[in-house]
Structure 1
Amino acid sequence: MDKNKAVKNLDKVISKVEAARLRVSEHHIVKIIGISKYSNAEDVAMLYNAGQRAFGENKVQDLKQKSQELDELPLEWHFVGRLQKNKINNLIDLNPTLMQSLDSLELAYELNKKLKTKNKTMSCLLQINSAKEDSKAGVLPEEAKEVYEKISKECSNIKLKGIMSIGAHVEDREIITNSFKITKSIFDELKEYNPKYCSMGMSSDFELAIACGSNMIRVGSTLFK
């Protein structure tokens, strides 16, 4: 990807996000996370120079490699993949800005235990399987509030900042919209915990997600193509 392409891609995404968020409200702010899993450090640097600051990786090893290669840039790194228990310590050492894929109470307990040992905290989003698809990780919608409350009360080293979900993996826009609406209604139910982020929407469906109330999107292919 060359410099012009990076600027063009980012401009296109920003224009679409702007239009979508203004349809919701002029006060509705949406944060863009560039998912860089299929690209290299050079492409991330290109997008940084075009104005993008937050990037996400779904493998701990890739996050480590890119964050080290680009450590002179003030980037915000997000972890968005499935976290294996044997990689927890590695992720803690990388100090991500946000871990978006806390997908079970069991993982929260394990993560909290290891954070305590290292005397560190981590900001996380609870991942919800709103589409109830077997291929997706996350807590079920009907258990989400209870799990969120438990983590908030019992895991003092985890700072929950909201929730994340992936839209239904189907062609039918109505089903995708419904999965986003379920996530947003859970976000609204958690008001007393002051959740900051409702992270939903990817390259193929982020405009739909923003219409349903998303304030953080994770786009990869549209930025890095």
Structure 2
Amino acid sequence: MTDRRTQLADNLAAVENRISAACAKVGRDRDEVTLIVVTKTYPASDVRLLAELGVRHVAENRDQDAAPKAAACTDLPLTWHFVGQLQTNKVRSVTGYADIVQSVDRTKLVSALSKEAVRAGRELGCLIQVAFDAESGERGERGGVAPDGVPALAEAIAGAEGLRVAGLMTVAPLAGPYAGRQLAAFERLMEISASLRADHPTANMVSAGMSGDLEEAVMAGATHVRVGTAVLGVRPRLG
């Protein structure tokens, strides 16, 4: 366990240096960027070590991994983010532990989240996932709504009991006009964010960038970066 703690501490320090350097490059304060560690297939013991090392935001993308892990870590001072594509039949479970759902991309999901948030007596922060590989009215290959669908979805969230419009999220696209152009995609996300905040002042989160492109996200202005592999290592193959 000591070796694992040392490994995580070293990896966190390296990621911290990357974030700090990217902030310095564009004149941002380091405290403007929040690191979210995506623990995915890694065990609750790693989450505990990360919490000891000062991590306060963790993320999961599969409910079957997340639910038992969150239940085992209820004593820790953590904010839990759900970042994966979310099916409505998993919403009740996710609402039980997630503080923020970063992958909201359709009104049917908004309705389901609202119903379960009210039932649980909770308020959920919702990030609208923007897909830069999606045409108008379509969803992206990895989830997300086309950019022109953001305003209507934000209105649906704002009008839904138990939900709060918290901001935007994106994953760098593998296809379309922004493929291979992470910085341009993230800069476009910031433009959409500015427009969204004009109508929804609480929408101040911009979640973008992962292990391979966190610098581009920080340079564009992202408030949160989601890092898994660079902190935890290469993930075990899923069965």
State the TM-score, normalizing by the size of structure 1. 0.90
1:191: Cα distance to partner? Answer: 2.2
1:88: Cα distance to partner? Answer: 1.1
Aligned partner letter, 2:101: M
Q: What secondary structure does 1:16 align onto?
A: helix
Mapped partners of 2:140, 2:101: distance in 1: 22
Q: What secondary structure does 1:6 align onto?
A: helix
Task: Identify the residue that residue 137 of structure 1 maps to in structure 2.
Answer: 143
Deviations 1:86-110 (A, max 9, x none): 111111222x221111121221122
Q: How do residues 200-219 of structure 1 correspond to structure 2 at under 5 angstroms?
A: 200-219=208-227
Residues 1:189 and 2:195 are matched in the alignment: yes
Aligned partner letter, 2:53: A
Mapped partners of 2:117, 2:52: distance in 1: 33
Task: Identify the residue that residue 161 of structure 2 maps to in structure 1.
Answer: 156
Task: Identify the residue that residue 171 of structure 2 maps to in structure 1.
Answer: 166
Aligned partner letter, 2:218: I
Aligned partner letter, 2:34: K
Structure 2 CA distance for partners of 1:131 and 1:20, relative to 1, 3 Å: farther
Residues 1:199 and 2:207 are matched in the alignment: yes
Q: Percent identity?
A: 28
C-alpha contact 2:140 2:146 (8 A) present in aligned 1? no
Aligned partner letter, 1:184: M
Residues 1:224 and 2:202 are matched in the alignment: no
Kindly tell me the number of residue pairs found equivalent between the two proteins. Answer: 222
C-alpha contact 2:110 2:156 (8 A) present in aligned 1? no
Mean alpha-carbon deviation: is it higher for 133-142 or for 122-131? 133-142
Mapped partners of 2:28, 2:219: distance in 1: 13
State the TM-score, normalizing by the size of structure 2. 0.85
Unaligned runs of 5+ in 1: none
Task: Identify the residue that residue 21 of structure 1 maps to in structure 2.
Answer: 23
1:71: Cα distance to partner? Answer: 2.3
Task: Identify the residue that residue 237 of structure 2 maps to in structure 1.
Answer: none
Deviations 1:10-36 (A, max 9, x none): 000011101112223334610000000
**Larger RCO: Structure 1 or Structure 2 (Cα < 8 Å, ≥ 6 residues apart)?**
1
Aligned partner letter, 1:45: R
Residues 1:178 and 2:184 are matched in the alignment: yes
1:156: Cα distance to partner? Answer: 2.7
C-alpha contact 1:180 1:200 (8 A) present in aligned 2? yes
C-alpha contact 1:141 1:182 (8 A) present in aligned 2? no
Structure 2 CA distance for partners of 1:173 and 1:118, relative to 1, 3 Å: closer
Task: Identify the residue that residue 9 of structure 2 maps to in structure 1.
Answer: 7
Mean alpha-carbon deviation: is it higher for 2-11 or for 61-70? 61-70
Structure 2 CA distance for partners of 1:147 and 1:203, relative to 1, 3 Å: same
1:174: Cα distance to partner? Answer: 5.5
CA RMSD, 1 decimal? 2.0
Task: Identify the residue that residue 75 of structure 2 maps to in structure 1.
Answer: 72
Q: How do residues 66-145 of structure 1 correspond to structure 2 at under 5 angstroms?
A: 66-94=69-97, 96-132=98-134, 134-145=140-151
Structure 2 CA distance for partners of 1:130 and 1:61, relative to 1, 3 Å: same
Structure 2 CA distance for partners of 1:199 and 1:118, relative to 1, 3 Å: same
Mapped partners of 1:211, 1:162: distance in 2: 18
Task: Identify the residue that residue 36 of structure 2 maps to in structure 1.
Answer: 33
Q: What secondary structure does 2:16 align onto?
A: helix
Unaligned runs of 5+ in 2: 234-239
Aligned partner letter, 2:150: A
Task: Identify the residue that residue 64 of structure 2 maps to in structure 1.
Answer: 61
1:121: Cα distance to partner? Answer: 2.2
Mapped partners of 2:207, 2:36: distance in 1: 10
